[in-house]
């Protein structure tokens, strides 16, 4: 799975001056690990991190560290030692670098040489899902149809201009909609539907050829959505509706809300947070 993680995290400065946004913690776990766990839950164990030379901590996080595992084990915390041991054992990482911020399509394209197989998953770490249900279903639909698949949710029309939007080719059946076309950040009032892309993709491998021939689009950047339009025009292409929890962690407020919700999954922590919020 390709995880674009080369952005400067400007919305989180000064926190992101030294610490990559993807490594900011939700509880005791970096946001990036939630995305990696989602991949593992969908049966994907090769993680391609598209990083930047300014963010060496991304590669450092993905480096197996047997000495650290041993230290934690000796302290008696086997559960934590197991979590740390998973790095490099349960998943292997390849780090590639994006030299300049030239858009999401360009970032994904940086992984072209290190990905093999018929299809590739892409996950934007600005969105955190509660589990692997959506991605697993997307992998299944890609296998069944032989075409690319995007994850989506439905929002009021006035919110569509901040996202990639699906132009459906037919009705939603069983949570799956056929896609005729897609549009990146449509101008107000022009979106073809309220079905927005939420940063999860399972794409046939020819997406890398499409990216290579995609010209800069919205914002002067090479847009992944534009590369997908070419696929949708000639191949089966579907959207899968997300029905599980999802957090938009692209802003400090969204990140805080995700941290609170995720902490709340532990009943003891939930009780303490509730008591704290209710105290004067
Ligand atoms: C990107 C994609 C967009 C998608 C969004 C989801 O936009 O280009 O199609 O809907 O992520 O988070 P960005 O948020 O990087 O502007």
The rounded Å distance from CA 199 to ligand 1 centre is 6
The rounded Å distance from CA 155 to ligand 1 centre is 14
Closest Cα to residue 176, out of 102, 246, 236? 236
pLDDT of residue 114: 98
pLDDT of residue 273: 86
pLDDT of residue 265: 87
pLDDT of residue 263: 86
Q: Is beta strand 237-241 parallel, antiparallel or unpaired with respect to 148-154?
A: parallel
Please tell me the pTM assigned to this model.
Answer: 0.96
Closest Cα to residue 213, out of 200, 234, 228? 228
Closest atom of ligand 1 to CA, residue 104: 8
**Helix and strand counts by DSSP (H, E) for the chain:** 10, 13
Closest atom of ligand 1 to CA, residue 184: 9
CATH of domain 2-278: 3.90.550.10
Q: What is the mean pLDDT of each run of 10 residues along the chain (280 residues)?
A: 96 96 95 98 97 96 97 97 95 95 96 96 96 98 98 97 96 97 95 98 98 91 95 97 96 95 89 86
pLDDT of residue 274: 87
Q: Could you tell me if the CB of 126 is within 6 A of ligand 1?
A: yes
pLDDT of residue 169: 97
Q: Is beta strand 119-123 parallel, antiparallel or unpaired with respect to 148-154?
A: unpaired
Ranges of each domain in the chain: 2-278
| Nearest residue (CA) to ligand 1, atom 7 | 163
The rounded Å distance from CA 77 to ligand 1 centre is 39
Check residue 87 and report its DSSP letter.
Answer: B
pLDDT of residue 219: 86
pLDDT of residue 87: 95
The rounded Å distance from CA 20 to ligand 1 centre is 19
Closest Cα to residue 103, out of 227, 17, 191? 227
């Amino acid at each position: 799975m390709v995880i674009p993680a080369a952005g400067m995290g400007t919305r989180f400065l000064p926190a992101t001056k030294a610490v990559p946004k993807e490594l900011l913690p939700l509880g005791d776990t970096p946001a990036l690990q939630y995305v990696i766990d989602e991949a593992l839950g969908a049966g994907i164990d090769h993680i391609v991190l598209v990083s930047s030379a300014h963010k060496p901590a991304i590669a450092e996080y993905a480096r197996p560290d047997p000495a650290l595992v041993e230290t934690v084990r000796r302290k008696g915390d086997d559960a934590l030692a197991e979590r740390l041991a998973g790095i490099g054992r349960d998943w292997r990482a390849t780090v590639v670098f994006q030299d300049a911020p030239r858009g999401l399509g360009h970032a994904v394209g940086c992984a072209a040489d290190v990905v093999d197989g018929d299809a590739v998953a892409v996950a934007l770490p600005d969105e955190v899902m509660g589990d692997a249900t959506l991605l697993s279903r997307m992998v299944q639909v890609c296998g069944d149809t032989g075409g690319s698949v995007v994850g989506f949710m439905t929002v009021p029309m006035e919110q569509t201009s901040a996202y990639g939007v699906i132009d459906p080719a037919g009705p939603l059946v069983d949570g799956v909609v056929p896609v005729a076309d897609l549009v990146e950040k449509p101008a107000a009032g022009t979106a073809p539907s309220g079905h927005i892309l939420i940063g999860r993709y399972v794409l046939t491998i020819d997406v890398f050829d499409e990216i290579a021939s995609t010209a800069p689009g919205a914002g002067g950047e090479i847009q992944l959505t534009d590369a997908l339009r070419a696929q949708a025009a000639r191949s089966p292409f579907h959207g899968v509706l997300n029905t599980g929890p999802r957090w938009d962690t692209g802003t400090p407020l969204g990140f805080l809300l995700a941290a609170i919700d995720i902490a709340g999954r532990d009943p003891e922590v939930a009780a303490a947070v509730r008591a704290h919020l209710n105290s004067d």
